[in-house]
Chain A
């Protein structure tokens, strides 16, 4: 089974702090994703990466950056945390297969609170 591990289930930080959310997958997937999940809005894509050191902006990249130095690890960085970034953050991974029929596999999520 695919295992996507997010480093923290719950995290509390203060406004202005630099925050790192880590995600590791063990299935050699090329694609990795960071989503934000808010009630009534579903999942919105922040960033994704299809290879080491490659990244693409999603729908809501403002205030975030990412890092992918190794294939199995994808980090989400909040450069200067703000209260409107309080949310559930989900990491996912998938194979880069032709035909696009590879489902995404998700981690448990990190519930981040910015005070």
Chain B
């Protein structure tokens, strides 16, 4: 079974600075998807960024980018120019190819952006 590990339960960053959230996973699969989801306080969980394992190029979405290291099974999220609205729980998730019913989530990292 796939497992996803987020080793940082809590992090903080000053507004406008850059922060990196870590995620590692364990799988024997070669093709899969990785996601970062954001859950703001008392608000809906939303998708931040997605990476296909067969793509070597790291995904980017505006201020959000990932560092995908397939051999190391690592998938970190970098947030540049942090904003107060980035304060949230961040979950890393793994999804096997051809099985979109079995998404595995990490325990989450609580990120606080300080003014």
Contact = CB atoms under 8 A, between A and B. Distances in A.
Contact of A97 (B9, B96, B100): B100
A94 B43 contact: no
A64 interface: no
A56 B101 contact: yes
Interface residues of A, number: 29
Most buried by B among A43, A44, A105: A43
B64 interface: no
A96 B100 contact: yes
Contacts, number: 58
B contact residues, range? 20 to 34
Nearest to B50: A103
B47 interface: yes
Contact of A94 (B96, B100, B108): B100
Contacts of A83: none
B97 A48 contact: no
A42 B106 contact: yes
Interface of A: 4, 31, 33, 40-45, 48, 50, 56, 90, 94-109
Interface of B: 4, 6, 9, 33, 35, 37, 43-47, 50, 52, 91, 95-103, 105-108
